Amino acid sequence: MSQMFEDMMQGLDEVQSFLEGKRDGYRVHVPAAVNVKEIRGQLQMTQAKFAEAFGFSLDAIKHWEGGRRQPEVSARAYLTVIAKEPEAVMRALGREKAAKKKRAAA
């Protein structure tokens, strides 16, 4: 079998395990790198507003965007969720007004 087929089958096995409530064989895939500046730009936020809205330090944002540091795994996972579902994150953090304001501006 080809490597691609084997990878797909492994992925399907992991999905099946997860759906059955089993955690064995299931892995969370976190990107090796995230583009913080791009995520922030899509939300049309300054570095300060992005840091405040999502609980990051302004220094961390500056270091990540400047390439001096890379977000750790947990931050990359969080940033991935922010990139895909920013309004859900804002609601979960009690920032419904900010989410509604962003939605109205778009």
Give tens-digit pLDDT for 21-45. 776 655 678 899 999 999 999 999 9
Instruction: Tell me the per-residue pLDDT of 48-74, one tens digit each, with 9 for 90 and over.
Output: 999 999 999 999 999 999 999 999 999
Q: Quote the number of domains for the chain.
A: 2
Residues 76 and 86 in one domain: yes
Residues 77 and 98 in one domain: yes
Distance CA 38, CA 40 (A): 5
Q: Which pLDDT band holds residue 2 (cuts at 50, 70, 90)?
A: confident
Residues 39 and 62 in one domain: yes
Residues 43 and 89 in one domain: yes
Phi then psi for 55, rounded to 5 degrees?
85, 20
The number of residues making up the chain comes to: 106
Q: How far is CA 44 from CA 63, 73, 100, 106, in A?
A: 19, 24, 14, 10
Mark 60-78 as b/e (b = at least 16 C-beta within 10 Å): ebeebbeeeeebeeebbbb
Residues 75 and 63 in one domain: yes
Residues 44 and 88 in one domain: yes
Residues 89 and 77 in one domain: yes
pTM reported for the whole predicted model: 0.67
